Amino acid sequence: MGNYYQALIAVDASESEASSLGDRAVAWLVARGIVAAELTDCVLGGERLGRRPGPGCALTTDEDGPFAPYNHGFRICGLDVAPCRSVTVGWPAPAACPRCGWTDPIEGDGGELTDQWWRIADALGEWHKGGPGLVDCPSCVLPVGLNDWQPDFLASWAVGQLAFTFWNWPVLAKSFIADFSQALGGHRLRHASFKI
């Protein structure tokens, strides 16, 4: 069956503000009943603790019907907040240079990953270790930030100093993401998802 996660990365949050911004976000979510206040073992990630969905959790999705994971008592179902250098990688999808428009499918016809993907993957690893998070476009040869190669919703990857990972939740609604961004003072949120 596996576990599905969605991450919202505050890509423009600084390292110095990540912890207080994360606390403010949790307070906003708890006040709306989206997550519970208490920490439990409802997320993956070693000894990490998270917050289970609250009675208002359906406010996060446009999907009809009950909030299935919450109603069926899945053990892994909750929010993990990580105020630290975070890299999230999701489903492969095309990437386009925002400067010149050059596009790479990221995944070839046979399912193999392209050379551009491997350049991006290397930059993701370097960013996690403290690097700048830039990848040169093969066409215009200008450096492009990792978070600028794709649209922010359903991105294939995201990097930032503050990550909110929703484990086994229905697809987050764009309207919720916009409201959550405003609760964070207008910080840019990048949405990536994956199943493990």
**Cα Dmax for the chain:** 51
User: Average per-residue pLDDT in the chain?
Assistant: 91
pLDDT per residue as tens digits for the range 31-51: 999 999 999 999 998 788 999
Spacing of C-alpha 165 from chain mean position: 6
Whole-number percent of the chain with pLDDT over 70: 94
Residues 6 or more apart whose Cβ sits within 8 Å of residue 32:
54, 56, 59
Determine how many CB atoms are found less than 10 A away from the CB of residue 179: 15
Show pLDDT as tens, one digit a residue, over the chain (196 residues): 688 899 999 999 999 999 999 999 999 999 999 999 999 999 998 788 999 999 999 899 987 665 655 545 678 899 999 999 999 998 788 999 999 999 988 888 888 999 988 999 999 999 999 999 999 999 999 999 999 999 888 888 999 999 999 999 888 999 999 999 999 999 999 999 888 8
DSSP letters along 23-43, please?
A: HHHHHHHHHTTSB-SS-BS-S
Cα separation, 77 vs 42, whole angstroms: 5
pLDDT per residue as tens digits for the range 144-170: 999 999 988 888 899 999 999 999 988
